[in-house]
Structure 1
Amino acid sequence: MSADYLARPRARPPMVVAALWMVGSLFSFSAMAVAVRELSEDIGTFQLLTIRSAIGLLVISALLTRYGWKKIRSDNLKLHLARNLVHFGGQFGWFFAIGFIPLAAVFAIEFTVPLWTMMFAALLLGERISTSRRLAVLLGVIGILVIVRPGWSALHPASLVMLLGAIAYALSHTLTKKLTGVDSPLCILFYMMLVQLPLGLVPALFDWTTPQPEHWPWLAIIGMTGLTAHYCMVRALLLADATVVVPLDFLRLPFIALVGYLLYGEQLDGFLVAGAALILVGNGMNILAERRKQC
């Protein structure tokens, strides 16, 4: 073994890098949730989705002007369209539910996504469902059931909307994984904003509220985190299977529960701690198993 080889820094395993990208996604989604909660009483869901897409499209267009519009060339426009139709449904369920039920409840229902993702990935991508992946999802779901115990706001109509949104998210994640093999992250994000802008704009025009100066900082956060959250997610999916990446998103639940407690006085108790511990253990075991396979 040469001295040059020994001196060369060892690259991080892809699974670790994917996990780091998901940390970026975690913080982005959490910041977006707070911004949506702050605006939900004044601005409608469709309008929030419209402004989010408009800001994102402006930022991506500026990047493409600098780095070249050829990056959005794609032979998969039908797949982009399908991915963004179902993703828009997921986004609507998420934005809508945040205005009616606790933040941790929204995220807990959303975290049925790995169950649906596992099924969609097996059906559409041919991904293998390993024992470690099954265990990560199982412990995650048990942790969520511990947190969302009977007596919480699970029966609110917004919860059903969020559950349908979770199924839409799962199909969207699976189609995103399929697109990462052929198109760049910038290309995927560009078509996401381009397709979803008119989807939100048309219904928003029937109940449009002119944003006030105090609204714009929160709207800017929604627009920017909408980009960074999905960019980080796409980068993670480039490095690991969908059924590995999506369970990492469980980590958002204990974090957003803490945010809800600190900002809005939402209940934080031992059930949350126990459920979060199960989620963390499941993810940790899955990451270690995947790292052993790559060594």
Structure 2
Amino acid sequence: MLGSTLGFGSMAIFIRLASKTIPTWEVAFFRNLFGFAALLPLLAVPALRQPNPAKTFAANVHTHQLPRYLVRTAIGIVSMVCGFWAIAHLPLALAISLTYSSPIFVTIAAILMLGERVRARRWSAVALGFLGVLIIVQPWSHAFSMGSMVAVAAAVLSALVAIQIKQLSAIDKADTIVFWTYAMWVPMSLLPALFVWQTPHGITWLWLLATGLMGTAGQLLWTRALKLGDVSALTPISFMQLPLVTFAGWLLFDEAVGANTLIGAAIILASTFYIAHREAVLARQSATRAPSEAKLPGE
């Protein structure tokens, strides 16, 4: 999880550097293109060990849910571009703090889309998280900027994507989901990028390549971490991304961090941690009850 956090934090820094010379849509396209190029060999390795690699690979990524992937990737690409725009145009600490509000919206989306039951304690955590968002955004003051709402929109759309991934994973394997996500993201991000295209030059190519590699590395390590450990124990480690990008914003872009951002971020992180903790507790309770609730034949 620490490796994943460093990967995502580094990606945010490289996005900011690349966005100095090329538009956001183009940064998103190259992030997807280079990320897909790095991912394909990793997906192909298990198939190469089989007698018929091509057939095995095709079987591993086969799906009957292409229309759902189309919707999931369309929402995901808009969420990505909103997030990238926020990283490029807002102080890094502010943009990343607001992205951590996504679990708050995931909780609400799970109620509306999956029919999950949420009790008073998690509702309290959601309300607390909203308070943190309001403290950062400050809609009541002259400091309010519509740019901060772009970062909030990225978090809301990311929550919808998380629910869709949960639905897709009920049928498809993780590798299938990742493959079709990237396979659709590349052309989806290329088309709008062509209308604002500016050919990268010099070191910008390095920033774009690093954006793709760090994003893919962060994603793979995050998935692996959740498979190995408890989400409530791992979530606090992911919060290390915030001091990383805050320090980078100060060192590389001369950005100061306001008190409202620090207070709001602390509240959002506390809310997110509690939501993750409750979900982990409920998952363990469900797993413990399942064997005892199962009935043997004839009972």
TM-score band, normalised by the shorter chain?
0.7 to 0.9
Please, which of 97, 105, 115 is the counterpart of residue 116 of structure 1? 105
Instruction: Compute the displacement of 1:66 (Å).
Output: 1.7
Match of 1:171 in 2: 160
Q: Per the alignment, do residues 52 and 292 of structure 1 end up closer, same or farther by CA in structure 2, a change over 3 Å counting?
A: closer
* Higher alpha-carbon deviation: 43-52 or 249-258: 249-258
Q: Cα deviation per residue 1:127-151 (whole Å; 9 max; x = unaligned)? A: 3324443344333333344444566
* Higher alpha-carbon deviation: 169-178 or 144-153: 144-153
Give secondary structure in 2 for the equivalent of 1:213. Answer: coil
Match of 1:91 in 2: 80
Match of 1:82 in 2: 71
Q: Do the aligned partners of 1:176 and 1:234 also contact (CA within 8 Å) in 2?
A: no
Match of 1:5 in 2: none
Segments of structure 2 that go 5 or more residues without pairing to the other structure are 48-56, 286-299
Q: Do the aligned partners of 1:104 and 1:253 also contact (CA within 8 Å) in 2?
A: yes
- Take 2:144 and 2:8, find their aligned partners in 1: how far apart are those partners? 21
Match of 1:7 in 2: none
Match of 2:54 in 1: none
Identical positions, percent: 30
Match of 2:5 in 1: 26
Letter in 2 for 1:117: V
Match of 2:196 in 1: 207
Please, which of 145, 164, 168 is the counterpart of residue 155 of structure 1? 145
Q: Per the alignment, do residues 291 and 193 of structure 1 end up closer, same or farther by CA in structure 2, a change over 3 Å counting?
A: closer
Please, which of 26, 36, 44 is the counterpart of residue 57 of structure 1? 36
Give secondary structure in 2 for the equivalent of 1:202. Answer: helix
Please, which of 169, 182, 185 is the counterpart of residue 171 of structure 2? 182
Please, which of 11, 16, 20 is the counterpart of residue 41 of structure 1? 20
Q: Do the aligned partners of 1:84 and 1:196 also contact (CA within 8 Å) in 2?
A: yes
- Take 2:279 and 2:133, find their aligned partners in 1: how far apart are those partners? 23
Letter in 2 for 1:184: K
Instruction: Compute the displacement of 1:52 (Å).
Output: 1.3
Q: Do the aligned partners of 1:93 and 1:161 also contact (CA within 8 Å) in 2?
A: yes
Letter in 2 for 1:56: G
Q: Per the alignment, do residues 199 and 288 of structure 1 end up closer, same or farther by CA in structure 2, a change over 3 Å counting?
A: closer
Instruction: Compute the displacement of 1:95 (Å).
Output: 1.1
Letter in 2 for 1:169: S
Query: How many residue pairs get matched?
Result: 273
- Give the number of the structure whose alpha-carbon radius of gyration is greater: 2
TM-score normalized by the length of structure 1: 0.77
* Higher alpha-carbon deviation: 228-237 or 171-180: 228-237
- Take 1:120 and 1:276, find their aligned partners in 2: how far apart are those partners? 22
Q: Do the aligned partners of 1:189 and 1:227 also contact (CA within 8 Å) in 2?
A: no
Letter in 2 for 1:121: A
Q: Cα deviation per residue 1:110-166 (whole Å; 9 max; x = unaligned)? A: 34423322221112223332444334433333334444456685414x333333332
Q: Do the aligned partners of 1:103 and 1:260 also contact (CA within 8 Å) in 2?
A: yes
Q: Per the alignment, do residues 255 and 148 of structure 1 end up closer, same or farther by CA in structure 2, a change over 3 Å counting?
A: farther
Match of 1:225 in 2: 214
Letter in 2 for 1:27: L
Letter in 1 for 2:41: A
Instruction: Compute the displacement of 1:85 (Å).
Output: 0.6
Q: Per the alignment, do residues 193 and 186 of structure 1 end up closer, same or farther by CA in structure 2, a change over 3 Å counting?
A: same
TM-score normalized by the length of structure 2: 0.76
Q: Do the aligned partners of 2:125 and 2:274 also contact (CA within 8 Å) in 1?
A: yes
- Take 1:239 and 1:183, find their aligned partners in 2: how far apart are those partners? 20
Letter in 2 for 1:207: V
- Take 2:254 and 2:95, find their aligned partners in 1: how far apart are those partners? 16
Instruction: Compute the displacement of 1:277 (Å).
Output: 3.9
Please, which of 53, 56, 67 is the counterpart of residue 46 of structure 2? 67
